[in-house]
Amino acid sequence: MITKNGSKGTSPKLVKSKRGQSVGAHEVKRLWFLPLFLLVPGDALSLPFDWWPVFHVGAEKYSLILVPFAIGFQQQIQGMLPKAAIQLYGRRVIVLGSIIAILSIVGWWYPLLSIIVAAFAVIARESLALIQKLKDDSLPFYFSKKNNGLMILGIIPDSPASKMELKVGELVTKVNSVVTYNEKTFYEALQKNRAHCKLEVLDTNGEIRFVQRALYEGDHHELGILFVQDERKFDDEKIS
């Protein structure tokens, strides 16, 4: 779930670097509820309900109970693209989960090991999150001001930018054939043609591509893009 869905709906925000410069970061908070089936020794649960499932393992009886189990994670990402960072973290969680699952199976024959595995699972998961944070903090800010264009920090859903399939982390280098190096020049270039816009974009692979779209009355005046240079807060708009 972390690998496939963790990067959806991250929240972009502007923070101050140690040098006092405005830089961007993405925060992710995800929570999922999963069904967890537990085996309860004895048949106490089946006594009030004749239909309650009871399993026999040797001479022992076990009842099955369903418990909602919450899993989630929270992380602020500033040194990588959000999707790449979250997928990396997700793969590490999968490896850790596989190790814990194998040890848990062994614990069937060695009950004391089960207690050790449970403690190890909690400590290892917290350590994994801490290592990820320290690694990210050691990297230079990914969402910082660039000399060759405007860095896209966030995109408002259903905005012109979203419909043009602009991506977080890309650089807008030209608008309507005008070189853009700050929001003022970006906005002025948009005003050259209020019915249509054409953007030159440098993608995250370092390749240039062109996107264009007709503009309509009521469209966001800056196409729905949050740039790193933008000091304003979008408290009343959801940004992805």
Q: What is the pLDDT along the chain (240 residues), one digit of tens a residue?
A: 666 666 677 889 888 888 878 889 999 888 777 776 666 666 655 555 566 667 666 677 767 677 676 677 788 899 999 988 888 888 888 898 888 888 878 866 776 777 788 888 889 888 988 999 999 989 999 998 888 899 999 999 889 999 999 999 999 999 999 998 888 889 999 988 888 999 999 999 999 999 999 988 877 777 989 998 655 544 434 444
Same domain, 60 and 160: no
Same domain, 14 and 116: yes
Domain that includes residue 124, residue range? 2-138
Q: Is residue 23 part of a domain?
A: yes
Q: Is residue 204 part of a domain?
A: yes
Strands 150-155 and 60-77 turn out to be: unpaired
Q: What is the CATH number of the domain that holds 195?
A: 2.30.42.10
Same domain, 128 and 166: no
Instruction: Give the pLDDT confidence score for residue 36 in this predicted structure.
Output: 66
Instruction: Give the pLDDT confidence score for residue 46 in this predicted structure.
Output: 54
For the stretch 37-50, what's the b/e string if a residue is b when 16 or more beta carbons lie within 10 angstroms of its beta carbon? eeeeeeeeebeeee
Q: Is residue 145 part of a domain?
A: no
Q: Is residue 219 part of a domain?
A: yes
Token reading at 22: 């405005």
Instruction: Give the pLDDT confidence score for residue 165 in this predicted structure.
Output: 92
Instruction: Give the pLDDT confidence score for residue 117 in this predicted structure.
Output: 82
Same domain, 178 and 198: yes
Same domain, 214 and 175: yes
Same domain, 123 and 204: no
Same domain, 101 and 37: yes
Q: Is residue 132 part of a domain?
A: yes
Instruction: Give the pLDDT confidence score for residue 4 in this predicted structure.
Output: 67
0.85 exceeded by the pTM? Answer: no
Q: Is residue 238 part of a domain?
A: no
Question: How many structural domains are present in the chain?
Answer: 2
Say if CB 157 and CB 223 are below 8 A apart: no
Same domain, 21 and 107: yes
Q: Is residue 52 part of a domain?
A: yes
Say if CB 227 and CB 184 are below 8 A apart: no
Q: Name the DSSP class of 106.
A: H
- Domain end point (choices 104, 138, 172): 138
Q: Is residue 143 part of a domain?
A: no
Q: How many whole angstroms separate alpha carbon 210 and alpha carbon 228?
A: 21
Instruction: Give the pLDDT confidence score for residue 34 in this predicted structure.
Output: 72
- Domain end point (choices 138, 172, 195): 138
Same domain, 25 and 134: yes
Instruction: Give the pLDDT confidence score for residue 179 in this predicted structure.
Output: 93
Q: How many whole angstroms separate alpha carbon 20 and alpha carbon 18?
A: 5
Same domain, 213 and 128: no
Instruction: Give the pLDDT confidence score for residue 218 in this predicted structure.
Output: 75
